């Protein structure tokens, strides 16, 4: 993408939770990265690394412990009046992980999808409201007749499509997709990802796509950030990250991806990451090892990575 325009800027974001009188869990501990307009930024890592907490803090479901989040140049966590919050909530939407728990079982699909429209006054009358919901249902690959049904009448994949329609209903510019395919059958996952890509092209959307399935993240993402225990350890273009993983944790994640090749699988060498093997002489910093390829490392590791990967920055 030429002339990249920053849509989201995250600076030293922290989200700490007190778990006892003197105990604190550092779920997110100093993240800094940007997301550009029109791109899909993939955020990956093992369960418990802080990916979902990052998404929920960005969208202000949690108040940040420290750091700044800027959306279109405005501080997300700054003081906002009701009108400003309403505008922000329309611009940024979220697709949740569990399509079963994220839809109110007592509401018809029509009212679930139209809820945001009602809040923001986007339909002038009942006829326009119904027509818009039916249009959204067809946009996500469902039938307009589905509007009068309840969530329990749908499969998991269909429910996630309803969740996507609900997010689209207020015409957002940025969507956080929080593990949107992890609860779905493998056969349905690709369909949902292809739908998200199609909608991105048609509606000029920007995504933060959170997942632990690296192969699927590569398929949908322009750039990928790898998280480990609340910190970003590597960030690069999707292809570069896969072809030239630098941080040992990223290498371990990629080495665990199975391929449909029995001969390869029998001889595949799995790499195990041990954080104790790292240089502990100084605190690691985020450094640009290759153009656009950032890695958390010490000065000594940085020199080693530059030499090993043959690029002088």
| Domain spans in the chain, listed from the N-terminal domain onward | 6-244, 245-313
Contact criterion met (CB below 8 Å) for 236 and 292: yes
Given this model, what pLDDT does residue 310 score?
Answer: 58
Given this model, what pLDDT does residue 187 score?
Answer: 83
Q: What DSSP line would sit under the chain, residue for residue? A: --S--EEEEEEEEEEEEE-SSS-EEEEEEEEEEEEETT-EEEEE-STTSSHHHHHHHHTTSS--SEEEEEETTEETTS---HHHHHHHHHHEEEE-S-TTTSS-TTS-HHHHHHHHHHHHT--SSHHHHHHHHHHHHHHTT--GGGGGS-GGGS-HHHHHHHHHHHHHTT--SEEEEESTTTTS-HHHHHHHHHHHHHHHHHHT-EEEEEES-HHHHHHH-SEEEEEETTEEEEEEEHHHHHHS--SHHHHHHHHT---S-HHHHHHPPPP---GGGS--SS--EEEEEETTEEEEE-HHHHHHHHHHHT---
Given this model, what pLDDT does residue 8 score?
Answer: 97
Given this model, what pLDDT does residue 308 score?
Answer: 87
Please give the model's pTM, rounded to 2 decimal places: 0.92
CATH of 6-244, one of 3.40.50.920, 3.40.640.10, 3.40.50.300, 3.30.420.40: 3.40.50.300
Given this model, what pLDDT does residue 1 score?
Answer: 44
**pLDDT tens digit at each of 313 positions of the chain:** 457 899 999 999 999 998 888 889 999 999 999 999 999 999 999 888 999 999 999 999 999 999 999 999 999 988 888 888 889 999 999 999 888 888 999 999 999 999 999 999 999 999 999 999 999 999 999 999 999 999 999 999 999 999 999 999 999 999 999 999 888 888 889 899 999 999 999 999 999 999 988 888 988 999 999 999 999 999 999 999 999 999 999 999 988 877 777 777 777 777 778 777 777 778 899 999 999 999 999 999 999 999 987 554 4
């Amino acid at each position: 993408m030429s002339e990249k325009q920053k849509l989201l800027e995250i600076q030293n974001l922290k989200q700490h939770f007190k778990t006892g009188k003197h105990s604190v869990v550092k779920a997110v501990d100093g993240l800094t990265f940007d997301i550009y307009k029109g791109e899909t930024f993939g955020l990956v890592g093992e369960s418990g690394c802080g990916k979902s907490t990052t998404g929920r803090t960005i969208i202000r479901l949690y108040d940040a412990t420290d750091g700044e989040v800027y959306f279109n140049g405005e501080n997300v966590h700054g003081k906002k009046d009701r009108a400003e919050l309403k505008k922000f909530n329309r611009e940024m939407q979220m697709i949740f992980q569990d399509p079963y728990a994220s839809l109110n079982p007592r509401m018809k699909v029509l009212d679930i999808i139209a809820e945001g429209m009602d809040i923001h006054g986007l339909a002038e009358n009942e006829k326009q409201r119904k027509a818009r919901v039916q249009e959204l249902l067809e946009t996500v690959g469902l039938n307009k007749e589905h509007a009068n049904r309840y969530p329990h009448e749908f499969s998991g994949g269909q429910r996630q499509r309803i969740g996507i329609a609900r997010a689209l209903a207020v015409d957002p510019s940025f969507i956080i997709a929080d593990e949107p395919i992890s609860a779905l059958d493998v056969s349905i996952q690709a369909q949902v990802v292809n739908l998200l890509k199609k909608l991105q092209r048609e509606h000029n959307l920007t995504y933060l796509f959170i997942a632990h399935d690296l192969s699927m993240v590569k398929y949908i993402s322009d750039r990928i950030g790898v998280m480990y225990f609340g910190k970003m350890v590597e960030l690069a273009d999707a292809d570069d990250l896969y072809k030239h993983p630098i941080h040992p944790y990223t290498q371990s994640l990629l080495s665990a991806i199975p391929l449909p090749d029995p001969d390869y699988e029998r001889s595949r060498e799995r790499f195990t990451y041990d954080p104790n093997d790292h240089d502990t002489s100084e605190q690691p910093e985020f450094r640009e090892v290759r153009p656009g390829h950032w890695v958390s490392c010490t000065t000594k590791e940085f020199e080693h990575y530059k030499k090993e990967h043959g690029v002088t920055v």
